[in-house]
Homo-oligomer: A and B are copies of this chain.
Amino acid sequence: MSSPQTFKIASIPGDGIGTEITEAAIQVLDKLASVDGSFGLEYTHFDWSSKAYLERGWYMPPDGMEQLQKHDAIYFGAVGWPDVPDHISLWSLILPIRKTMNQYVNVRPTRILPGTQSPLSSCQSNPGTLDWIIIRENSEGEYAGQGGTTHENSPHTIATELAIFSRVGIERIMRFAFETARSRERKKLTMVTKSNAQRHGMVLWDKIFYEVAAEYPDVEWDKMLVDAMTVRMVNNPASMDTIVATNLHADILSDLAAALSGSIGIAPSSNLDPTRKHPSMFEPIHGSAPDIAGKGVANPVGAFWSAAEMIRWLGEGRLNAGTFRFKSSSV
């Protein structure tokens, strides 16, 4: 057995229920460490929140990324608050962290946990039929952050959003997706695209998918258009296992997945830098939920599951540094 090791965790509770669920998750993590005995956890708490922003004018100090870089992992609650426009809060905190820390993979498992009930009548007698892991491209695509506005405040304003897809960006996410699919029992990957309407970036996405697929003859795959994918998720959940999609498509599909599994409050999300040069970040997929914040009623399961994924990632790193295998949890 390797000697006990202490992991440094940067904790960013953020806004709304983010603070409540982070507090709960840290209690669970500490208990886990003391029961397990093979690792310890040390936290730095960062008050990078919308509340702080409204008081002092910034979310993260200029050396924020350097501070984060000193940690083994980042634990994130939620960001977003009604008094701050969302595109300011998100582009001041969560999105720059994902990008700067090279967290190019976002892993989003969903399944129907005991005690929850799927809104789909087909799943209610057989919850095992919904067990997905969505691999989201997390560094480029529709979230590249480019685009702009011309003729502002005129009758002729034009604004653009530029989605950027690079060969390196697509190749690495496809490989990660195939590795994940291969590590799971069913060895099955569904690739999502919209290459019928979007004929540049999405056509490159398809092309590289086929190339990488050839390296994984043991993984069965199929291909869906993103619109038809929602239909299949509703009508035939058991037909899918691992799913790979672009930044925006997977953002949408992972919320749908969580809803179909019975609760948006239980789904975790791991923002991974598979090269392990930067800390990875773990957060529940739900938001700050201003409507229930402060009432002590937030569901902490998404936060617990995210914490579990963090420990798994750190543990795998210790045993197996440099690999990007990521097994689905069995929480």
Contacts and interface: CB of A to CB of B under 8 A. Distances in A.
Contact of A202 (B161, B203, B251): B161
Interface in A284-299: 287
Contacts of A165: 158-161
Given A204-B149, A231-B255, A255-B230, A86 B160 contact: no
A158 B167 contact: yes
A86 B156 CA distance: 33
A162 to B, nearest CB: 6
A195 interface: yes
Contacts of A147: 162-163, 198, 200-201
A23 to B, nearest CB: 24
Given A122-B119, A264-B231, A200 B256 contact: no
Given A124-B121, A230-B252, A197 B90 contact: yes
Contacts of A148: 200
Contacts of A89: 196
Number of copies: 2
B159 A195 contact: no
Interface string A158-174: 11111111111000000
Which of A90, A168, A198, A226 lies at the interface centre, i.e. has the most chain B CB atoms within 10 A of its CB? A198
Interface residues of A, number: 64
Given A231-B264, A235-B119, A264-B231, A87 B196 contact: yes
Contacts of A162: 147, 160-163
A119 B260 CA distance: 11
A3 interface: no
Contacts of A228: 255, 287
A194 interface: yes
Contacts of A255: 227-228, 230-231
A195 B231 contact: no
A248 interface: yes
A87 B199 contact: yes
Interface in A103-129: 119-122, 124
Nearest to A148: B200
A149 B200 contact: yes
A227 B200 CA distance: 24
B161 A201 contact: yes
Interface of A: 80, 85-87, 89-91, 95, 119-122, 124, 142-143, 145, 147-149, 154-168, 194-204, 225-228, 230-231, 234-235, 248, 251-252, 254-256, 258-260, 264, 287
29 contacts: A80-B196, A85-B203, A86-B195, A86-B225, A87-B195, A87-B196, A91-B199, A120-B121, A143-B197, A143-B198, A145-B199, A148-B200, A149-B204, A154-B167, A155-B167, A156-B166, A156-B167, A157-B167, A157-B204, A159-B166, A162-B162, A162-B163, A194-B251, A197-B251, A226-B252, A230-B255, A231-B259, A234-B259, A252-B252
Q: Report the 9 A-B pairs with minimum CB-CB distance, sorted nearest first.
A: A86-B196, A87-B199, A230-B256, A227-B255, A147-B200, A159-B204, A121-B121, A234-B259, A231-B259
